[in-house]
């Protein structure tokens, strides 16, 4: 399987604290991967580095085939290269309707002049309606997204990411604060998304990761502690010590 994202030897420190310490791992095309680890393990910093929010002190971040370096590129350039990111708390534009949120995310030219003269075609509207159907918000297209429930906002954000058509989806704790039924739907959405693209899910919750049924990377103190299936890593003594030993 060809590599989509390769992170090698990346270190980031904030005021002497090493958030990432020589982190190396890679994601293949159309792979579903879970990244777990205790608080402060560097999960969010890893996402910040890949999406261009944080500049690493050293290391390489290579993307695609043939590989190009993502370091030094702006957030918007990286997003357009095909990296989508979902934040921990739902960040949708609450003042705007579900339709506007999805239309904004739809993969189209992003320069100010292209957007100024943009007119949604019938296909664009159909695409938005399809996406709204996928995330279960078909009846809510004209509602302000601020009026949606917490779970619906999370789905809307996933829908916006799908509209962006990224090759890699970085998802930060998608199941936080959800009911059991909402979690199941979220799992389905992510598994479905992983059929056509790579998805990296950062999660605390072991049960949720088990339900995803994919390869797991365990981070600890800024580097990879263990990697493999969920059963493999939960039997790893280092992992048990990190999770249960304190």
Partner 1 sequence: MTDSTLTGTAPRQPLALRFPAILIFMACLALFTVGVTILSEGFGIGVISTSFVKTLGKTLCLCLVALAMDLVWGYCGILSLGHMAFFGLGGYAIGMWLMYERTRLIVVESMSAQALPPTPEQISDGIASQIFGVVGASEFPPIWAVAHSLPLQLAAVVLVPGLLALVFGWFAFRSRVTGVYLSILTQAMTLALALYLFQNDSGLRGNNGLSGLQNLPGLGNVPQSVVSVWFLWASALALALGFWLATWVVSGKFGSVLRGIRDDEARVRFLGYPVEAYKLFVFTLSAVIAGIAGALYYPQAGIINPAELAPIASIYLAVWVAIGGRGRLYGAVIGAAFVSLLSTWFTGGQAPDIVLGSWRIQWVDWWTVLLGVSFVAVTLFAPKGIGGLFDLLADCLTPNRHGADLGPDQGALREQEADK
Question: CB-based contacts of 89: which residues, under 8 Å, 6+ apart?
Answer: none
Beta carbon nearer to partner 1, 172 or 182: 172
Beta carbon nearer to partner 1, 51 or 234: 51
Q: Are 178 and 154 in contact (CB under 8 A)?
A: yes
Beta carbon nearer to partner 1, 35 or 160: 160
CB 9, min distance to partner 1, A? 25
Beta-bridge partner residues of 17: 14
24: tokens are 């190396």
CA angle 222, 77, 130 (to 5 degrees): 100
Q: Are 68 and 62 in contact (CB under 8 A)?
A: yes
CB 194, min distance to partner 1, A? 20
CB 143, min distance to partner 1, A? 4
CB 150, min distance to partner 1, A? 16
Binding residues (CB under 8 A) for partner 1: these are 51, 53, 74-76, 79-80, 84-85, 87, 91, 93-96, 99-100, 103-105, 110-112, 115-116, 118-120, 122, 124-126, 128-129, 138-144, 147, 160, 164
Beta carbon nearer to partner 1, 81 or 206: 81
- Nearest by Cα to 139 from 103, 174, 99: 99
180: tokens are 């059991």
């Amino acid at each position: 399987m060809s590599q989509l994202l390769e992170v090698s030897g990346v270190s980031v420190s904030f005021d002497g604290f090493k958030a990432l310490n020589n982190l190396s791992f890679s994601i293949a095309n159309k792979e579903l991967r879970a990244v777990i680890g205790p608080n402060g393990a560097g999960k969010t910093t890893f996402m910040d580095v890949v999406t261009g929010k944080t500049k690493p002190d050293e290391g390489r971040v290579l993307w695609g085939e043939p590989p190009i370096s993502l370091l030094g590129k702006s957030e918007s350039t990286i997003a357009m290269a095909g990296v989508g990111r979902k934040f921990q708390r739902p960040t949708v534009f609450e003042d705007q309707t579900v339709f506007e949120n999805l239309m904004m995310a739809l993969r189209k030219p992003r320069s100010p002049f292209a957007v100024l003269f943009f007119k949604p075609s019938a296909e664009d509207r159909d695409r938005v309606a399809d996406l709204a159907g996928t995330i279960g918000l078909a009846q809510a297209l004209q509602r302000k997204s601020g009026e949606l429930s917490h779970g619906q906002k999370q789905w809307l954000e996933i829908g916006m990411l799908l509209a962006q058509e990224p090759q890699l989806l970085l998802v930060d704790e998608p199941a936080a604060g959800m009911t059991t039924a909402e979690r199941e739907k979220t799992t389905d959405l992510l598994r479905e998304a992983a059929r056509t693209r790579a998805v990296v899910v950062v999660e605390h919750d072991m049960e949720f990761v088990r339900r995803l049924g994919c390869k797991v990377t365990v981070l600890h103190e800024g580097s990879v502690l263990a990697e493999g299936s969920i059963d493999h890593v939960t039997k790893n003594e280092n992992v048990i010590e990190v999770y249960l030993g304190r």
